[in-house]
A and B are shown apart, each in its own frame.
Chain A
Amino acid sequence: MKKIVIFLISSFLIMFSSVKADTIKLGILEDETGNFAIAVVPKIHAYELAVKEINAAGGVLGKKLEIVRYDTQSDNRRFQEFARRLIKKDKVDVVFGAFSSASRESIRGIMEKGKMLYFYNNQYEGGVCSKTTFVTGAVPEQQFSTLVPWMMDKYGKNVYTIAADYNFGQISAEWVRQIVKENGGTMVGEEFIPLDVSQFSQTIQKIQKAKPDVLMTLLVGAKQASFYEQQASAGLGIPMGTSVNVGQAYEHRRFAPPALENMYVTVNYIEEVHDVIKSGEFHDKSKDFVKRFKALYPNEPYINMESANAYNAINLYVNAVKKAGTTETMKVVEALESGISFDGPSGVVTIDPKSHHGSHTIFLVEVGKGHKVSIPKVWKDIQPYWLGQSGCNLAQKADYSQYTPSNPPSN
């Protein structure tokens, strides 16, 4: 009994002396377990790949990179606990991580107040304009300004949106609405669905009644993903466009066909790129990336776009540190704002100094019969233009907010 008490008390009191080692510490907060694990595990491996490669090449400024990583269990509370731990106890130089927007928002404030450089490496609803935050994932203007006009050209002008009823879905739907209008189309319907819904018969009938030419499915999470199987079994048969599926949780590999047949999605990378595009820059870069990735993680089920973003993020950071000659946060931010770029798995990614978001190559992925993937179109060097145009200019003026099309930065 005494032992137990001593154990309990000492566990509470254990103190780690944080000896300042001669490494650059990268804090990583990602969901290795929980709801998001499926799309996040390849991302974690991509961070590790990037760090291994950079260390093998001698590190940065004569120092090696060291990862300090916690499993945030797809739980916002864990994000907050571990964000503080990284800043106060581990004293890392930079933090990478978060999958869902809610988890990003849960730690962004802690990062900003702790003056910690933070990279969010995920496709999201856009609009984060924060001095210490950098985003390497794709944003709506990159994914929808390409996808929506292309689909309207091919299939017709009547668009119907079903979207998850929270920030990501609502803001993405707002983007779709705006782009459809700009291109002379009509929204024939819009439905927002709570994240807990997994049954879609009623939704499917509403869609059939509206007879759209194009269906935008901005659905999120495992429960809502059941829509695809259910629309296929009901024989809905309307071309679908999305920014979330395939590129993150590789539904086209996991679901039995024909659930995702006739779906179009814009991604900034997926591992099929070099299988589909037989030659040229994108073929070579993707092939090389997958080869190196599989050498380290031979059993990786799928290398998704977020793993390319994670890989790019570490390299962009390293390039900035090299340029700044230090790991001091504001100096590195300044270096990143000088237009740092990195030639990654899908071509050059450049950080936009105004909004701190990255430019991307955007691939239009078509999921065809038997879930066979093809890429009918590639857009090069698509800029994250919206924030910069609407008044976010971080290089000139510090800000710590998230904006939406209906709530833009006031000048």
Chain B
Amino acid sequence: MVFLFNIFYQFGDSLAFLLLAAIGLAVIFGMMKIINLAHGEFITVGAYGTVVSGKVFNLPLPIAMAFGVVITIIFGLILEKLIIRYLYGRPLDSVVATWGISLIVSQSFLVIFGPSYEGLQTPMGNFQLGEFSYSEYRIFLIFIALIILFLLYYLFMKTSFGTLARATIENPSISSSMGVDVKNVYTITFAIGAGLAGVTGALYAPTMTIVPSIGQAFIVSAFITVVTAGASPFVGLVPAAAFLGTVQTSVTFFYKSTIGLIAILCAVILIIRYLPKGFSGLILKTRSK
């Protein structure tokens, strides 16, 4: 029983991390095809928004987190208006601009807040099961990750905004000719992606060291999860994260984390080779059969 719970806990923890790392990028890269190298910095903005507002205004954690997310959305909106909107349709050029943004943001945080900011304590407590003890907050993270993903799936796959957004991004000129305000749809979609990255930053802020490079811990995981998820990221994200999480935890369990990290990267290479449309392609194919 304890053994099974341990498996759930370790696997769930890894799943939550991959999912939350990827959610913002699933919108910005998965849908909008912007190679956002500043994804990590969006997470940084969310984390700092949470921690700084929590410390300075002495806000309770959930409100501080909400504040962190709002700040990231505003940040995303400004970036979209100033820079990103000129990059639609030039996905590869977005590499340079977003790399530049990431340099500016992380270094600005260093200049403004110093090399490190005092962290928040992880909320909730811990509980004991046999010889093991567990952090309740990390179990909370597993569930919140799944809930957020479900909401996201609902938003983009079931609501009229979602349909509009997907259609617009699929074919902007037809959408435009049908009277859709294309610019607006892009802006809102981008802001949602930024806000989701902010959510990730806010949720992980109390569990990590608050440094200007905090977001960089997520970026590789984010890209590999979104790519593994495939063309329809909201369908593929959970199986992709589950698969990668299983590979990583089991290899780490039997060997060591370094090999776990290498294994997960190799798994991605093989998936791209043999499942070019990712897990979402696999699912949609089986469903249509």
B107 to chain A, nearest CB (A): 7
A235 x B135 contact (CB < 8 A): yes
Whether A257 sits at the interface, judged by CB under 8 Å, is yes
A233 to chain B, nearest CB (A): 4
CB proximity to B under 8 Å, residues A230-277: 230, 232-237, 249, 253-259
Whether B159 sits at the interface, judged by CB under 8 Å, is no
CB proximity to B under 8 Å, residues A194-214: 194, 196-199, 201-203, 205, 208-209, 211
**Chain B residues near A226 (CB-CB < 8 A):** 207-209, 217
Of the listed stretches A1-9, A32-40, A103-111, name the one at the interface; the rest are far from the partner chain.
A32-40
Complex alpha-carbon distance, A259 and B207, angstroms: 10
A201 x B10 contact (CB < 8 A): yes
Interface residues of chain A, those whose CB is within 8 Å of chain B, are: 33, 35, 37-38, 41, 165, 191-194, 196-199, 201-203, 205, 208-209, 211, 222-223, 225-226, 229-230, 232-237, 249, 253-259, 301
Give which listed residue, B115, B128, B206, B252, contacts A202 with CB less than 8 A. B252
Complex alpha-carbon distance, A198 and B207, angstroms: 10
B119 x A234 contact (CB < 8 A): no
**Chain B residues near A253 (CB-CB < 8 A):** 118
Complex alpha-carbon distance, A191 and B252, angstroms: 10
A267 to chain B, nearest CB (A): 19
B204 to chain A, nearest CB (A): 9
B217 x A196 contact (CB < 8 A): yes
Q: A199-B14, A230-B135 are in contact. Are A165 and B122 (CB under 8 A)?
A: no
B116 x A196 contact (CB < 8 A): no
Complex alpha-carbon distance, A197 and B211, angstroms: 15
A206 to chain B, nearest CB (A): 8
A165 x B6 contact (CB < 8 A): no
B115 x A234 contact (CB < 8 A): no
**Chain B residues near A191 (CB-CB < 8 A):** 256-257
B118 x A255 contact (CB < 8 A): yes
**Nearest chain A residue, comparing its CB with the CB of B208:** A226
Whether B263 sits at the interface, judged by CB under 8 Å, is no
Q: A41-B115, A235-B126, A256-B120 are in contact. Are A229 and B257 (CB under 8 A)?
A: no
A233 x B207 contact (CB < 8 A): yes
Complex alpha-carbon distance, A222 and B118, angstroms: 13
**Chain B residues near A41 (CB-CB < 8 A):** 115
Give which listed residue, A35, A197, A230, A257, contacts B207 with CB less than 8 A. A230
Sample of 11 A–B contacts (CB below 8 Å): A35-B211, A35-B213, A201-B10, A201-B14, A202-B14, A202-B252, A229-B119, A234-B135, A235-B134, A254-B118, A259-B119
Interface residues of chain B, those whose CB is within 8 Å of chain A, are: 6, 9-10, 13-14, 17, 107, 110, 114-122, 124-126, 128, 131-135, 137-138, 206-209, 211, 213-214, 217, 220, 249, 252-253, 256-258, 261
A129 to chain B, nearest CB (A): 28
A256 x B258 contact (CB < 8 A): no
Give which listed residue, B107, B132, B206, B211, contacts A205 with CB less than 8 A. B132
B140 to chain A, nearest CB (A): 11
**Nearest chain A residue, comparing its CB with the CB of B18:** A199
Give which listed residue, A222, A233, A257, contacts B209 with CB less than 8 A. A222
**Chain A residues near B115 (CB-CB < 8 A):** 37-38, 41
A248 to chain B, nearest CB (A): 12
The DSSP consensus for interface residues of chain B is mixed
**Chain B residues near A254 (CB-CB < 8 A):** 116-119, 209
B19 to chain A, nearest CB (A): 13
**Nearest chain B residue, comparing its CB with the CB of A251:** B209
For B120, B121, B209, B213, the residue with the greatest tally of chain A CB atoms inside 10 Å of its CB is B209
Complex alpha-carbon distance, A140 and B275, angstroms: 49
B180 to chain A, nearest CB (A): 41
**Chain A residues near B107 (CB-CB < 8 A):** 33
Complex alpha-carbon distance, A335 and B161, angstroms: 77
**Chain A residues near B122 (CB-CB < 8 A):** 229-230, 232-233
Give which listed residue, A198, A233, A236, contacts B217 with CB less than 8 A. A198
**Chain A residues near B125 (CB-CB < 8 A):** 235
Other A-B pairs beyond A201-B9, A226-B208, A253-B118, 12, CB < 8 Å: A35-B213, A38-B116, A165-B256, A165-B258, A202-B13, A202-B252, A203-B257, A208-B131, A229-B207, A234-B135, A235-B133, A254-B118
**Chain B residues near A198 (CB-CB < 8 A):** 208, 217
B118 x A256 contact (CB < 8 A): yes
**Nearest chain A residue, comparing its CB with the CB of B209:** A225
For A165, A235, A258, the residue with the greatest tally of chain B CB atoms inside 10 Å of its CB is A235
Complex alpha-carbon distance, A317 and B204, angstroms: 46
**Nearest chain B residue, comparing its CB with the CB of A192:** B256
Give which listed residue, B135, B253, B257, contacts A233 with CB less than 8 A. B135
Give which listed residue, B132, B138, B261, contacts A194 with CB less than 8 A. B261
Give which listed residue, A194, A222, A257, A301, contacts B211 with CB less than 8 A. A222
**Chain A residues near B213 (CB-CB < 8 A):** 35, 222-223
A199 x B258 contact (CB < 8 A): no
Give which listed residue, B13, B217, B261, contacts A201 with CB less than 8 A. B13
A256 to chain B, nearest CB (A): 4
**Chain B residues near A232 (CB-CB < 8 A):** 122
B162 to chain A, nearest CB (A): 31
Complex alpha-carbon distance, A253 and B14, angstroms: 29
A246 to chain B, nearest CB (A): 14
B53 to chain A, nearest CB (A): 15
For A198, A223, A237, A301, the residue with the greatest tally of chain B CB atoms inside 10 Å of its CB is A198
Q: A208-B132, A255-B209 are in contact. Are A197 and B257 (CB under 8 A)?
A: yes
B208 x A256 contact (CB < 8 A): no
